[in-house]
Amino acid sequence: MKFFIDTANVEEIKKGIAMGLVDGVTTNPSLLSKEKKDPDAVIKEILSVVDGPVSLEVIATDAEGMCGEARKLAALGPNAVIKIPMTEEGIKAVRTLSLEGIKTNVTLIFQPVQALIAAKAGAAYVSPFIGRLDDISEKGMGIVEDICLIFANYGFETEVIVASIRNPVHVLEAALLGADIATIPFNVLKQLMNHPLTNIGIERFLKDWQSIKK
């Protein structure tokens, strides 16, 4: 299972890389706006520090505009992947870009057939947003299960990025389902390593060691 980090914060990305837990990065306009810096400079820095794929989202809403932005973003680095929203215009753009050899990640997926359509159009990745479904009392992980089954049924190579992850249980469930990738916010990445019994165990070992070490 690949771990992507869901952030536009370069310091968080570097910390994740130091732990060997960054197989790629996903950004979006909201994450870039949190950085309060020139987004073009932030994007270039992320592309330069990360070896794996970096998803960068288009702003245009028409296919032609999306393709124009996508070509410029793709030219910034061989690891740039273009995030395209799941709309009719988006699917047209995915088709065009895929024929040009530009990798796309279809975002804002909330039902399994949207993922099927994106895969048929030639998307390299699909991003179901599970946390936002949980927020409205739908079982977000249910669509991941369906998408994985549909892709296996037909042998699609499109990879499933479980997105909008809010907690460690989301990562556990994504792994149990065999999802290709989880894109994880930095705070959740750190939570994944913690257990209170681990801390209690370390304290006890150190205390017992001190009792025999003069």
* Residues at the site binding ligand G3P, with contacts judged by CB under 6 A: 6, 26, 28, 127, 129, 131-132, 163-164, 183
Question: Is 96 or 133 the residue whose CB approaches ligand G3P more closely?
Answer: 133
The dihedral through the CA atoms of 97, 94, 76, 25 has a sign that is negative
How many degrees, rounded to 5, is the angle at CA 86 between CA 129 and CA 74?
100
Q: How far is CA 149 from the centre of its chain?
A: 20
Q: CB 99 → ligand G3P: shortest distance, Å?
A: 26
Q: Which of 15, 72, 83, 120 is catalytic?
A: 83
Tokens of 150: 């549909």
Closer Cβ to ligand G3P, 96 or 162, answer by number = 162
Rounded Cα gap, residues 122 and 20, in angstroms: 30
User: Which residue number, 29 or 201, has a Cβ lying nearer to ligand G3P?
Assistant: 29
**Interacting residues of 181 by C-beta distance below 8 A, sequence separation 6+:** 1, 2, 3, 4, 23, 24, 125, 159, 160, 161, 162
In terms of CB distance, is 96 or 112 closer to ligand G3P?
112
How far apart are CB 127 and ligand G3P at their closest, in Å? 6
Nearest to ligand G3P of 37, 132 (CB atom): 132
Distance, in Å, from the CA atom of 181 to the CA atom of 105, rounded to the nearest integer, reads 12
Nearest-approach distance from CB 153 to ligand G3P, in angstroms: 25
Beta carbon of residue 155, minimum distance to ligand G3P (angstroms, whole number): 26
Q: How far is the CB of 196 from ligand G3P (least distance, A)?
A: 26
**Does the annotation mark 34 as catalytic?**
no
Bridge partners for 25 per DSSP: 5, 54
Instruction: Name the nearest CA neighbour of 173 among 141, 203, 146.
Output: 141
Distance of alpha carbon 22 from alpha carbon 49, whole angstroms: 11
Active site residues: 83
